[in-house]
Chain A
Amino acid sequence: MEETRLEAPREGTALGEIERDATSRKRFLKLVGGTGAASALAILVAACGDDEETSGTTGGTETTQEPSTGESTQADNGDVEIVNYALTLEYLEADFYQQVLDSGEITDKAIAEAAKKIGMNEQEHVDALKATVEQLGGTPATAPETKFEDVIAGGPKMILATAAQVENIGAAAYLGQAGNIKSPEILAAALSIHTVEARHAAALNQLAGNKFQGNDPVVGSIPDGAFAKPMTMEQVLKKVQPFIAA
Chain B
Amino acid sequence: MPNQNLAVPELAAIQIDGMTRSSFLMKSALAAGAVYGTATVGPFVKQAFAQEGGGGDVDILNFALTLEYLEAAYYDMGLKEVKGLKGDAKAVAEQLAKDENEHVEFLMSAISDAGGEPVKAPGVQFMDAFASQDSFLKLAQTFEDTGVSAYNGAAPQIQSKDILAAAGSIVQIEGRHAALIRFLNGVDITEGAFDKTLEMEEVLQAVQPFITS
Contact = CB atoms under 8 A, between A and B. Distances in A.
Interface of A: 1-4, 6, 8, 10, 13, 15-16, 18-20, 22, 25, 29, 32-33, 44, 48-49, 51-52, 54-58, 61-62, 65, 114, 117, 120-122, 124-125, 128, 171, 175, 178-179, 184-185, 187-189, 191-203, 206, 212, 221-222, 225-230
Interface stretch (B34-42, B112-120, B127-135, B193-201): B193-201
A22 B102 contact: no
Contact of A226 (B13, B99, B159, B195): B99
Q: Which 6 pairs from chain A and chain B are nearest by CB?
A: A198-B175, A195-B175, A124-B193, A228-B172, A226-B102, A199-B179
Contacts of B169: 175, 227-230
Interface residues of B, number: 61
B5 interface: no
Contacts of A121: 190, 192-193
B90 to A, nearest CB: 13
Given A4-B15, A57-B21, A227-B170, A193 B194 contact: yes
Contact of B180 (A194, A202, A225): A202
Contacts of A184: 156-157
Contact of A1 (B13, B99, B193): B13
B20 A57 contact: yes
B21 A55 contact: yes
A116 B197 CA distance: 25
Given A25-B192, A124-B193, A198 B18 contact: no
Given A125-B193, A192-B152, A226-B98, A6 B171 contact: no
Contacts of B138: none
B197 A48 contact: yes
26 contacts: A1-B13, A2-B13, A6-B17, A6-B18, A10-B18, A13-B17, A19-B11, A19-B197, A55-B199, A55-B200, A57-B53, A61-B54, A121-B192, A124-B194, A179-B161, A188-B156, A191-B168, A192-B195, A194-B172, A195-B178, A196-B175, A196-B193, A200-B189, A201-B176, A201-B179, A227-B102
- Tell me what chain A mostly uses at the interface: helix, strand, loop, or mixed: helix
Contacts of B12: 1, 3, 19-20, 22
B14 to A, nearest CB: 7
B22 interface: yes
